[in-house]
Amino acid sequence: ALCGDGDLQEGVAMEAMALAGRLKLSKLILLFDSNDIQLDGPTHLATNEDIKAKVESMNWDYQIVNEPNDLTDLSKAIEQAKKSDKPSFIEVKSIIGFGSKNAGTSKTHGSPIGTEETANMRKSLGYDYKEFVVPEEVYEDFKNSFKARGEKLNKIWEENLVKYQEKYPNEFLELSLIMSNDINIDFDKLIPQENSVNEATRVTIGKLINTLSPHSKALIGGSADLTSSTKVKGINGDFDFDNRTGRNINFGVREHAMAGIINGMVLHNLKAFSGGFFIFSDYMKPAIRIAALMDIPATYIFTHDSVAVGEDGPTHEPIEQLTMFRAMPNINVFRPGNANEVRHAFRYALEAKKTPNIIALTRQNIKVDYTVNYDTFKKGAYTVYGGKDFEAILLATGSEVELAVETAELLKQENNINVRVVSMPSRELFIKQSRDYRTEVLPEDKLIIAVEMGSTLGWYEFADIVYGIDEFGRSGKGEEVQEYFGFTKEKLAKFYLDNLN
């Protein structure tokens, strides 16, 4: 891998490097383009650290190459790095803009060199060709060295693969499934369709990981120092330098690196997943955005998804996070309403071929008992309570589906009002459905009230009125905070009656 001065100033670099050193990821070689220049000027304006001492303190091997244009020294350093039992860091003392009049200055960092200076640069380097001209000998050298070397190594790989298949047929089949990005799990057989009542959806995801992981070596993941809370934990013990078959990764409090590492594993066709509190998704957003941009089907599992967190207070209570990710292109955001929907959401994420998926789960137990099949779930929204005769709709996600059903039952009992309840675990899947289906679920001639313990922004695309939270949370017991913000069946029923007309 390659990095520059600016890369090493990012916090995520230190997160990832510290973990790589702890795990002794000896196959990792990092080439540091050390030119002492960044966009605003010399690096000493922003840092004065001893990079050698820094990387060695994180259990990395360190080497330095002072003459970058002598490929012999660089090649020797790389060969030496391959022998290490630690990750290796090779500092290459390069000159930015080498060959130009502004070499070694920040002027060559973010600005084009210009036509005239480019011509002078080609001349000073003895490259007597016009722009966009690549001499034939370059093509020939590429063909005879790089291409030939690749073909030779690929042949060796294929021969070894045949030998491996003959000696380890079962393991070869598992490897082939991973290489073909095929999860090959019989979800209908392994996952019960009935609902688990009075269970937090974070507990459900933990059970799913334990149930499915033995059936696919591709499942691997872990949490950012929150395993006991998120229940997101891989099997076969902890991945470590003395247990490379462990499928639980102790990421530590390194959310940004965790998301980036998950992305990297998914690029190699592993079904990698991460776990953390939803509020800490803020630290992961850049890497999640990259996954969406790159069509990486990573799975990000978040728990403690609302103000029902309670005692941890407003610093730990998500408000705008659902809205933030729903605004992001090319990503699915799932907020399941009970165990049945969690199972379908996790299945959808594991079967995905390109789009990343977020699954937001509860800390508190969920009692509402409804089930839908997988095909219905993939439509993104559907009726879970109420018949054809109704006067309005409560549209809800996550734990608020239970609240909506309880409110509908209260309105029926005390006011003889029939209300439909629609669960919408995924807006992204719902808007992909036909107009006929969307208007069947959410008729345009009915009052629709969206109910969600979070920002109201974005809900008016689907609802006439939104019952949400547009301020930071409060400290207190979870049920007390929910009552403070009006998320009880009595207060929601009153709100409904007040807005009926």
The residues spanned by each domain of the chain are 2-94, 136-179, 187-499
pTM listed for this prediction = 0.95
CATH T-level topology, domain 187-499: Rossmann fold (3.40.50)
One DSSP character per residue, 254-284 reads -HHHHHHHHHHHHHTT-EEEEEEEGGGHHHH
Task: Find the helix packing angle between 201-212 and 339-351, rounded to 10°.
Answer: 50
Give me the active site residues, please. 255
* Cα–Cα dist 214/175, whole Å: 15
* pLDDT for res 120: 87
**Both tokens assigned to 451:** 């109910």
Instruction: Give the span between the Cα atoms of 53 and 35, in whole angstroms.
Output: 18
Query: What three-state secondary structure class fits 90?
Result: strand
Distance CA 460, CA 439 (A): 15
133: DSSP letter: -
DSSP 213: G
Q: How far apart are CA 274 and CA 221, in angstroms?
A: 6
Separation CA 304–CA 310 (nearest Å): 9
Mean pLDDT by 10 residues, the chain (501 residues): 96 98 98 96 95 98 94 96 98 94 89 87 86 90 91 96 96 92 90 82 97 96 98 98 97 98 97 98 98 98 97 96 98 98 97 97 95 97 94 98 98 97 99 98 97 98 98 97 98 94 66
Spatial distance between the Cα atoms of 25 and 198, rounded to a whole number of angstroms: 42
List the CATH code of the domain at 2-94: 3.40.50.970
d(CA 219, CA 271): 5
Q: Where are the alpha helices (DSSP H) in 50-180?
A: 51-57, 71-82, 107-110, 115-124, 136-141, 148-167, 169-179
Check: CB of residue 361 under 8 Å from CB of residue 201: yes
Crossing angle of helices 489-499/400-415, nearest 10°? 60
pLDDT at 501: 66
Position 70 scores a pLDDT of 86
